[in-house]
């Protein structure tokens, strides 16, 4: 089989790495891909948003299955187009991808189907939004309604910060049209975790839990980022909590989507928080999470291609997971998530036989790999204990010590 993976980040590289182990896969293409993927895939210079060119490429190359990594092409309707062209794709149609594409839609949907989440209100008026903030007090959460590349969420510790966030989104248009409407919701206190599942219509096949860390610096301090590291599974999520989340969140969601005439196929990601009342939804994504994918897929025993084919055929893929822990730590460019320099030479990580490197923002030049993004790469490892896996990762990352052009957190897999 020929596989096309759409996307260019660490999540997509992790998918390519896993697919390269599949016995039935003869060729993998990545569009547009990145320098690290070139070892296992043919990188094709097609933008992930150019869904027409991607469909034409899939036709010309007789691609057997296309898998989508990022959210943008999903909300542009890539699955709809591929289905119209009789091209096999593992991804939700845009009507189902709205679960991620619109936070107000997701909140209304959860309210309708009694899926546990934070109390909220939606606003387009800045004055109404500010009055609501003043009434509710802080801490409080302000979210841009649309897609904002994971950056459209402000956890405001004061009413003044919340007012500023509303002004930034509704008046200054910090997130363009994504912030034309805002969702303001209660602040939930507790530990977060991610639960992803392979889904086809009413069928849900959960993966192991993961926890990512969004804050830039140790002890979950500093600005929010796209994710500075993750580990899987999450030991403090009990079997009862997990079963509750599967039955009352994942299953209720896909059943509700069927009732709404928006049948879901692909990866459903629930960003959850453990409250005193049990798990509640912070957000839904309609694709693999990043960087959670980089620690979840390495634990999957199954052939990823076969899993997706089985799910599409309505068969139980009988998922099996290694009885190990995986930890991954992101190396970022100095200045990220703000301004940063590109083209900085990277140390060679290929010699390690116990750790793995997943590329995100890298470029290959004559001298070797150089940085080409904010989150440059992730170093991961598996071991029988989480602490041991973290130790392997940090031992490998010693090659970055003293390199002021980069930074990484030193507590991933250590901070529970």
Q: What is the pLDDT of residues 76-117, one digit of tens each?
A: 999 999 999 999 999 999 999 999 999 999 999 999 999 999
Choose the most confident range, by mean pLDDT, from 111-115, 158-162, 166-170: 111-115
Strand stretches in 35-139, DSSP E: 42-43, 65-68, 89-90, 120-123
Kindly state whether residue 320 falls inside one of the protein's structural domains.
Answer: no
Query: Average of pLDDT values for 122-148?
Result: 89
Residues 208 and 293 in one domain: yes
Confidence class for position 147, pLDDT limits 50, 70, 90 = confident
Instruction: Give yes or no for a contact between 87 and 59, defined as CB atoms under 8 angstroms apart.
Output: yes
Choosing from 248, 280, 312, the residue where a domain stops is 312
Does residue 370 register a pLDDT over 80?
yes
At 246, the pLDDT band (50, 70, 90 cuts) reads: very high
Q: Specify if 175 maps to a domain.
A: yes
148 has pLDDT over 90: no
Residue among 14, 12, 337, 358 at smallest CA distance from 150:
337
Give the model confidence (pLDDT) of 321-359 as tens digits: 999 999 999 999 999 999 999 999 999 887 678 999 999
Verify that 337 and 266 share a domain, yes or no: no
Where are the alpha helices (H) located in 177-292, listed in sequence order?
239-245, 251-259
User: Do the beta carbons of residue 7 and residue 44 sit within 8 Å?
Assistant: no
Residues 362 and 401 in one domain: yes
Model confidence at 150: pLDDT above 70:
no
Dihedral, 141, 105, 91, 252 alpha carbons, nearest 10? 90
pLDDT at 118: 94
Q: How far apart are CA 266 and CA 67, in angstroms?
A: 9
pLDDT band at 416 (very low <50, low <70, confident <90, very high): low
pLDDT in tens, 170-211: 887 766 665 578 999 999 999 999 999 999 999 999 999 999
Q: What is the mean pLDDT of residues 139-147?
A: 87
Domain CATH for 151: 3.30.1490.20
pLDDT in tens, 378-407: 999 999 999 999 999 999 999 998 899 999
Q: What is the overall mean pLDDT for the chain?
A: 94
Residues 196 and 153 reside in one and the same domain? no
186, 220, 239 - which closes a domain: 186
SS3 content of the chain, % helix, strand, coil (to 5): 35, 30, 40
What percentage of the chain has pLDDT greater than the value 70? 97
Domain boundary among 168, 186, 204: 186
CATH number where 245 lies: 3.30.470.20
Over residues 140-148, the mean pLDDT reads: 84
User: What is residue 152's predicted lDDT score, i.e. its pLDDT?
Assistant: 77
Residue 250 predicted with pLDDT over 90: yes
Per DSSP bridges, beta strands 191-200 and 265-275 are antiparallel
Over 70: is that where the pLDDT of 374 sits?
yes
User: Which residues span the domain enclosing 354?
Assistant: 325-407
- Is 71 part of a structural domain of the chain? yes
Backbone phi, psi, residue 406, to 5°: -130, 160
Closest CA to 13 of 406, 356, 373: 356
Total domain count, the chain: 4
CATH number at residue 24: 3.40.50.20
Which is nearest to 67 in space by CA: 40, 28, 97, 103?
28
Q: What is the pLDDT of residue 415?
A: 66
Q: Degrees (nearest 5) of the Cα angle 222, 35, 62?
A: 120
pLDDT for 121 beyond 80: yes
Residue 111 covered by a domain: no
């Amino acid at each position: 089989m020929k596989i096309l993976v759409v996307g260019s980040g660490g999540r997509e590289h992790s998918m390519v790495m896993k697919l390269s182990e599949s016995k039935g896969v003869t060729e993998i293409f990545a569009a547009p891909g990145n320098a690290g993927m070139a070892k296992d895939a043919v990188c094709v210079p097609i933008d992930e948003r150019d869904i027409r060119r991607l469909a034409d490429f899939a036709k010309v190359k007789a691609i057997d299955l296309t898998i989508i990594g990022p959210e943008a092409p999903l909300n542009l309707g890539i699955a709809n187009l591929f289905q119209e062209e009789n091209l096999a794709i593992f991804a939700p149609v845009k009507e189902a991808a709205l679960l991620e594409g619109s936070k107000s839609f997701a909140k209304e949907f959860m309210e309708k189907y009694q899926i546990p989440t934070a109390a909220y209100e939606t606003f387009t008026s800045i004055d109404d939004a500010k009055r609501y903030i003043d009434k509710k007090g802080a801490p409080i959460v302000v979210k841009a309604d649309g897609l904002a590349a994971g950056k459209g969420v402000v956890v405001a510790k004061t009413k003044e910060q919340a007012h500023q966030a509303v002004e930034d989104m509704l008046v200054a248009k910090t997130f363009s049209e994504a912030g034309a409407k805002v969702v303001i919701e209660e602040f939930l206190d507790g530990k977060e975790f991610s639960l992803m599942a392979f889904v086809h219509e009413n069928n849900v096949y959960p993966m192991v839990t993961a926890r990512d860390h969004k804050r830039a610096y140790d002890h979950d301090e500093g600005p929010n980022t796209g994710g500075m590291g993750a580990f899987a599974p999450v030991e403090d999520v009990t079997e009862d909590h997990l079963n509750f989340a599967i039955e009352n969140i994942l299953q209720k969601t896909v059943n509700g989507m069927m009732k709404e005439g928006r049948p879901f196929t692909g990866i459903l990601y629930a960003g959850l928080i453990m409250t005193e009342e049990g798990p509640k939804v912070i957000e839904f994504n309609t694709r693999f999470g990043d960087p959670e994918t980089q620690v979840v897929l390495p634990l999957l025993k199954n052939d990823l291609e076969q899993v997706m084919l089985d799910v599409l055929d309505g068969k139980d893929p009988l998922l099996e997971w290694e009885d190990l822990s995986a930890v991954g730590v992101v190396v970022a460019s100095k200045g990220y998530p703000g301004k940063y320099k590109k083209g900085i030479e990277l140390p060679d990580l290929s010699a390690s036989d116990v750790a793995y490197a997943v590329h995100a923002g890298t470029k290959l030049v004559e001298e070797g790999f150089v940085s080409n993004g904010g989150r440059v790469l992730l170093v991961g490892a598996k071991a029988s204990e989480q602490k041991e896996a973290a130790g392997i990762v940090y031992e490998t990352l010693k090659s970055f010590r003293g390199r002021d052009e980069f930074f990484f957190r030193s507590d991933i897999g250590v901070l529970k």
